[in-house]
């Protein structure tokens, strides 16, 4: 019995016709418009469309409020560092000077915010506190060298502040604010330099400046350098603190310059 009543539709013909269909499909698709379709994820059910989240504008006031929150974050860190009583008298004096400088920076930024018609944000950055400061300080519990950790923490946050001010220059629209930000940013860089010298007195220039690879020290800690690069860096800042866990690892985090999740928007309050 012939299971294919149309004798003209052989395997060869079937392949030929199939190829023609595919070719026509390609031509039609190429000639079509609005072929993108919806990029929304698929939905189940008949619930109302979700209300899109309001995107608060990122303006100069937001950038300034974020900078002010960074200053208060660093001040809170120095409070914690000093309270632990691990610093030498010389280091305590240095930290004391940094507190004076950061307090002045916060006040300066506050004046700039007011001049822009914004409201000051006189407290630590909420996102940074939740995601970085709290876990970093918690990791000091049981540390094999709290003194080492505190210096590294101070250096990391001074470096973060340095990078944050430099980064803000690219986003601020008011030219006079760019200048004021880097006036403060320059001082944060100076703080970071002094701390790097204190932590690592044996080397001044980062090996990366000479095309050599960067490496951690024998215990796995990033090595700070007073001069870390030819140009100011905006990359993440690695921080390692605490004792080794059962797997031999220490608490590690990378601090990033402020972005959408770190900004202090105008509708936020302390």
Using rule CB under 8 A, residue 186 touches another protein? yes
Using rule CB under 8 A, residue 254 touches another protein? no
- CB 229 → another protein: shortest distance, Å? 7
Residue 185: name the closest of 161, 150, 149 by CA: 161
Residue pair 240/250 in contact by the 8 Å Cβ criterion: yes
Full DSSP string of 80-102: HHHHTT-S-HHHHHHHHHHHHHH
SS3 38: coil
Size of the site for another protein (CB under 8 A): 35
Give long-range contacts, CB 8 A cutoff, 24+ apart: 156-159. Answer: 156/237, 156/238, 156/239, 156/255, 157/73, 157/74, 157/77, 157/255, 158/74, 158/98, 158/188, 158/191, 158/192, 158/195, 159/192, 159/224, 159/237, 159/255
Using rule CB under 8 A, residue 185 touches another protein? yes
Using rule CB under 8 A, residue 235 touches another protein? no
Query: In this structure, what are the phi and psi dihedrals at residue 205, rounded to the nearest 5 degrees?
Result: -105, 140
Q: Which of 66, 73, 125, 189 binds another protein (CB under 8 A)?
A: 189
Q: Which of 22, 26, 209, 270 binds another protein (CB under 8 A)?
A: 209
Using rule CB under 8 A, residue 99 touches another protein? no
Angstrom distances, CA of residue 199 to CA of 27, 41, 217: 67, 50, 12
Number of CB atoms found within 10 A of residue 265's CB: 17
Using rule CB under 8 A, residue 206 touches another protein? no
Using rule CB under 8 A, residue 60 touches another protein? no
Cα dihedral sign for 39, 45, 48, 50?
negative
Q: Name the residue nearer to another protein (CB basis): 125 or 189.
A: 189
Stretch of 40-48, 71-79, 122-130, 183-191 lying at the interface with another protein (CB under 8 A): 183-191
- CB 91 → another protein: shortest distance, Å? 13
Give the relative orientation of helices 89-115 and 146-169 as an angle to the nearest 10 degrees.
30
Using rule CB under 8 A, residue 236 touches another protein? no
Site map 104..143 versus another protein, x via CB under 8 A: ----------------------------------------
Using rule CB under 8 A, residue 58 touches another protein? no
Stretch of 21-29, 52-60, 119-127, 188-196 lying at the interface with another protein (CB under 8 A): 188-196
Point out which residues bind another protein (CB under 8 A). Answer: 94, 97, 101, 162, 165-166, 169-170, 175-176, 178-179, 182-183, 185-187, 189-194, 197, 204-205, 209, 226-233
């Amino acid at each position: 019995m012939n299971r294919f009543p149309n004798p003209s539709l052989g395997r060869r013909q079937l392949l030929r016709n199939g190829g023609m269909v595919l070719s026509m499909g390609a031509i039609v698709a190429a000639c079509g418009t609005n072929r993108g379709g919806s990029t929304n994820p698929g939905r189940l059910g008949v619930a109302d469309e979700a209300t899109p989240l309001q995107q608060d504008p990122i303006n100069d006031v937001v950038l300034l409020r974020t900078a002010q929150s960074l200053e208060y974050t660093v001040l809170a860190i120095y409070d914690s560092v000093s309270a632990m009583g691990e610093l030498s008298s010389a280091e305590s004096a240095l930290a004391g000077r940094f507190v004076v400088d950061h307090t002045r920076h916060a006040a300066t930024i506050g004046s700039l915010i007011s001049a822009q018609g914004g409201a000051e944000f006189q407290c630590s950055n909420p996102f940074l506190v939740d995601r970085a400061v709290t876990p970093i300080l918690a990791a000091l519990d049981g540390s094999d060298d709290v003194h080492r950790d505190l210096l590294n923490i101070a250096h990391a946050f001074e470096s973060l502040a340095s990078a944050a001010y430099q980064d803000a220059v690219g986003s601020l629209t008011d030219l006079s604010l760019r200048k004021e930000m880097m006036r403060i940013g320059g001082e944060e860089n100076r703080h970071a330099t002094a701390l790097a010298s204190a932590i690592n007195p044996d080397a001044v220039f980062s090996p990366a400046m000479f095309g050599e690879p960067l490496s951690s020290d024998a215990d796995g800690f990033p090595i700070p350098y007073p001069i870390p690069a030819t140009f100011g860096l905006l990359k993440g800042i690695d921080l390692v603190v605490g004792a080794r866990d059962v797997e031999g690892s220490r608490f590690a985090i990378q601090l990033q310059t402020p972005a959408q999740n770190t900004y202090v928007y105008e509708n936020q309050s302390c």
